[in-house]
Each structure stands twice: as C-alpha cells, then as structure tokens.
C-alpha cells in the first residue's frame, strides 16, 4: 500500500532553514507552530517522552496513542499557570495495522483525525483548495497548496521543508 500521509509546511522567520517538523519515531512526524520558544520546548518534551516509551517497550507508540498522549499533555498544560501555545500536525504510519493517520491538534487540546490539515494564516488558502481537490496525489496536491499560499498570502514564506512518512519510514523530499 502506498501511504500518502504527508506532514509538511513551515513558515520562515529569522532563519530560512529552520526545521519545524520533528521525527518522533521511525514512523511518526510532528509539525509544530505557535509561540516561539514554546514550540521547540514542547516539541522536545514530546520527542523525549515518545523516545522513552520506545526504549521501555521496544516498540514505538502507535500514531493514535501518541496523538492522544500529546493532546492530553496540551490539555493539562492549558490549565497550568503558563500554558504552551503550540499548534501541531501529527502524521504517522501505524505499523501494527498498516495504515496512515493524520491528526490536527491545537493549543486548546482539540484533536481531530483528518484527511488533510493546516495551521496558521496559510491554512485559509490551503484548506479551501483541499476542500475542492482530489487527494489521490498527495505531493502534487501539497505543491498546489504551497503555490496558492505563495500567490495569495501577503506574508507568504519563501522556503518549505517537506517530509513524507509511510511504511518505509520517514524521508525528506523536494518538490
């Protein structure tokens, strides 16, 4: 089966080569955006906890379990003195059931499993395009979204890093 789960997108600020997609486990990617500082801190916290689970249990968390854990961490953080403001996309390939998953998670602890997703200003353009489009060719559709954002968004970012996760694991691709 060819999994077309693509987790990608990034917006450039001070650096033009900041990687905002973390590889959490061999078949799990997390793209994050939000308050600078919070994002990296929270992403590293998640990364290390997922890694700890993998070391303890010899197998990695499944995407659905990882998503639920991350959502819970954000929900608990929301009710703390200073919550993380981080929005996430989580994409992964479930090696136990052999199917891809994509989750949309925001800083309020909302989660939903979706066929396509986007965060940030670019999402207005990307989502309306994705609502219409056929989704068979994941990377081609992604390219159309990026082009649309570049065309219409005033503060459109210049560079993108794109990663794919499927049954073979994680890899970076160029469009």
Partner 1 sequence: MEAISHAGTVLGVLAKDGVVLAAEKKVTGKLLDLSSAKDGGYGGSGEKIYLLNSNVIGGVAGLTADANSLVNYARTAAQRHLIMYNEDIPVELLAQRLCDMKQGYTQFGGLRPFGVSLLYAGYDPHYHFQLYHSDPSGNYSGWKATCIGANNGTAQSLLKQEYKDDIVVKDAIGLVLRTMSKTMDSTTLTSEKLEFAVLTVDPVTKQPKAKIYRPAEIDALLVSEGLAKKDEDTEMKAA
Q: How far apart are CA 145 and CA 126, in angstroms?
A: 5
Position 124 contacts partner 1 (CB under 8 A): no
| Near partner 1 by CB under 8 A: residue from 72, 159, 168, 171 | 72
- CA–CA separation, 8 vs 160, rounded Å? 8
- First-residue to last-residue Cα distance in the chain: 22
| CB 95, min distance to partner 1, A | 9
Regarding 159 and contact with partner 1 (CB under 8 A), the answer is no
Checking phi first, is residue 34 left (phi over 0); if not, alpha (psi -120 to 50) or beta?
A: left
Q: How far is the CB of 61 from partner 1 (least distance, A)?
A: 7
Q: Could you tell me the smallest distance in angstroms from the CB atom of residue 120 to partner 1? A: 26
Q: Is 62 in the site for partner 1 (CB under 8 A)?
A: yes
Count residues binding partner 1 (CB under 8 A): 13
How many residues are present in the chain? Answer: 175
């Amino acid at each position: 089966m060819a999994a077309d789960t693509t987790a990608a997108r990034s917006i450039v600020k001070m650096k033009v080569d900041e990687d905002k997609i973390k590889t959490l486990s061999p078949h799990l990617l997390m793209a994050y955006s939000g308050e600078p500082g919070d994002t990296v801190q929270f992403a590293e916290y998640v990364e290390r906890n997922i890694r700890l689970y993998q070391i303890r249990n010899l197998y990695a968390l499944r995407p659905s379990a990882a998503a639920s854990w991350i959502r819970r961490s954000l929900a608990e953080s929301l009710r703390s003195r200073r919550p993380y403001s981080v929005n996430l996309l989580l994409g992964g390939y479930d090696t136990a059931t052999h199917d891809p998953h994509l989750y949309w998670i925001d800083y309020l602890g909302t989660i939903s499993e979706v066929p396509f997703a986007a965060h940030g200003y670019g999402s207005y353009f990307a989502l309306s395009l994705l609502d219409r489009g056929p989704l068979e060719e994941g990377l081609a559709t992604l390219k159309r979204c990026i082009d649309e954002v570049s065309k219409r968004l005033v503060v459109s970012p210049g560079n993108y890093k794109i990663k794919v996760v499927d049954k073979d694991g994680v890899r970076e691709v160029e469009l």
